[in-house]
Each structure stands twice: as C-alpha cells, then as structure tokens.
Amino acid sequence: MKDYDALMSMRPVVMEQSYTSLDSCLYALSVGCGMDLADDWMRRYLGPLPPALTLPALATVLAAPRVHALGLGLTLSGILHGSQGLVVHAPLPTEGKVRSQSRVESVFDRGEGRGCLLNMARELHDAQSGTHYASLSMTVICRSDQVAGAPPAEKPAAKPVPDRAPDLVVEVPTSPQAAQLFALTGDQNPLHMVPEVATKAGFPGPILHGMATYGICAAFAEKALCKAPGTSATRRLGAISGRFSAPVFPGETLELALWNEASGARIEARIPDRGVLVFAEGQIAIEKAF
C-alpha cells in the first residue's frame, strides 16, 4: 500500500527533449493527417518538409515521462489512462527543445480493492527561451494500488451533451498501422502492437493508444471548428479535455460529434460500426489565433 503524504510530497520530475520537423510530421501522420492527400489542411502539418505548422496536441508527447519512469511505485499492469486535458499557451515550433515538469496533483481512494485515482499535471516550456507552451493534465486509474491516507474519490457529476442533434459530425478513418505510427512518438507498450499481449490483456487485438485517440479528436475538432469554409481565420484550439470510455482498434472509423457553445464546443467520439462511445464528456475551448 502506498502512502498519500509521500506521493503528494514528491518533487516534480523534470524531462527535456529535442525534436525535429520530422517528429512534428510523424505526430501528424499518427493522428490521421495524410489519409486524404487532397486535403490542404492536412498538408500544413506534413509538408513538403518542414511542415508549416504543428498540431497543438503534439505537446502531449513531447518530454512526456512514462508512468513507470515517475518513481511512483505503482503496479503497471493495473494502470489505465482515465482522462486527458490540454491548455495551449503558445504555438509549438516545428522543431526545437522543450522541458517539462510533471507532478502529482492529487490522489483519491476508490474504495477497498478498487485502487486509487492519480491526477498528474505537466507544464511544457521551451528549454532555451522559457516560453510556456502548454499545461497538461492526466488522470490515471490505478486498479491494483491502494493509498493509505488518501481522501475518498467523489465522482463529479458529468455534464450531459446538449439535448439536440450535434451541430457538426465528422468521420475520421484510422489506418491499420495507426498504433505502430503512434508508437514511434514514444509509447512502445506492446499492448498496442503485439496481438498476443493484447489477447492476454483481454482484447481481441492490439488497441490504439488513448493519446492517439485524443490527438485525433483534437486535430479534427480544430479543423471542423476553426478551419472549415466560412469560419474565421482568427480562431484556434485553446483547450481540449475528456474521458476515455472505451478503446479504439486501428483501422476503425471514429465519428466525432460536436455541439457548439459560446466559448467552444462539447465533443464525443464514437465507433459507429460498434456503437461504442470512446471519448466522453469532452470540452473544447476556442480562442483567438496567436
């Protein structure tokens, strides 16, 4: 059993990473850009190299320490990625060097035999100039680890999507190689690439990384809300958050449903062929362009 005070008093984990325009392009490919070669919007993130822009959610994979590297003493086989959030403060250059600081923000007990919830926060800055690029949040469900002294978890009331048809519906096909591509951005967990490992974990085949699903939602929601014909050229994705509710299998088509709001939009993602909700309780903020 872990100790609450020890987890909360841990020093932030600092990590640096240099990346190139090839890395920026690879991330864009791994979250669905390039599936339609006639799409001018996608080519801005792919080049010809170097690409003109980076996707905002590239911040999720830069200088991102894996849970096993944080020294938390958690049982890795019992960990699930529960939710993810991103707030964009400045545009990432297509290449550079970044520094992150990751810390435990809060820990909650889920009840006897049900483990705990661990909320992590990460700030991403330019390693040379100090420019603050992004604030990231992540909830990890630790099914095998109790934390002595942690307060009980209280499930927040979910904000339902508006009681009307979505204002926008976007279909996004994924490549059968999507997991292999995304693995090249840093997460080499064999659950996403090796059929035998996925089967042992209870899945019929390798599943797509949750962060890849998140990146798809972020990229194509921004395209739909900010870059579509008739929208203002001064709009950008300012933030996106949501909960992972089911896995995606590479090669499936996601259906993004978007409900416009004054400050942005609500978002859900489903796999229509299976009738499964995979990204829930999503909230998007739309801001003025930098």
Dihedral angle sign, alpha carbons of residues 180, 184, 190, 192: negative
Is residue 288 within 8 A of residue 236, CB to CB? The reply is yes
Query: What are φ and ψ of residue 196, in 5° steps?
Result: -65, -35
Q: How many domains would you assign to the chain?
A: 2
184 shares a domain with 143: no
32 shares a domain with 140: yes
Q: How high is the pLDDT of residue 227?
A: 75
Residue 17, beta-bridge partner list: 98
Nearest to 131 by CA among 103, 99, 86, 101: 99
Q: How high is the pLDDT of residue 229?
A: 56
281 shares a domain with 206: yes
**Averaged pLDDT, groups of 10, the chain, 290 residues long:** 82 95 96 89 90 96 83 73 96 98 92 88 98 96 85 80 94 95 92 91 92 97 80 82 96 97 95 97 94
126 shares a domain with 12: yes
Q: How high is the pLDDT of residue 69?
A: 66
The enclosing domain of 274 has a CATH number of 3.10.129.10
The number of angstroms, rounded, from the C-alpha of 234 to the middle of its chain's C-alpha atoms is 24
Is residue 161 within 8 A of residue 266, CB to CB? The reply is yes
- Outline where 98-236 has alpha helix (H): 178-183, 195-200, 210-222
Q: Which two tokens stand for residue 256?
A: 């993004």
Tell me the C-alpha distance between 81 and 134, whole Å. 20
Asked, for residue 155, whether it belongs to a domain, the answer is no
131 shares a domain with 33: yes
Asked, for residue 161, whether it belongs to a domain, the answer is no
Q: How high is the pLDDT of residue 233?
A: 63
Q: How high is the pLDDT of residue 230?
A: 54
Q: How high is the pLDDT of residue 290?
A: 87
Q: How high is the pLDDT of residue 231?
A: 55
Look at the pTM and tell me if it is higher than 0.85.
yes
Domain assignment of residue 115, given as a range: 2-148
Q: Which two tokens stand for residue 169?
A: 């519906």
The number of angstroms, rounded, from the C-alpha of 31 to the middle of its chain's C-alpha atoms is 11
183 shares a domain with 127: no
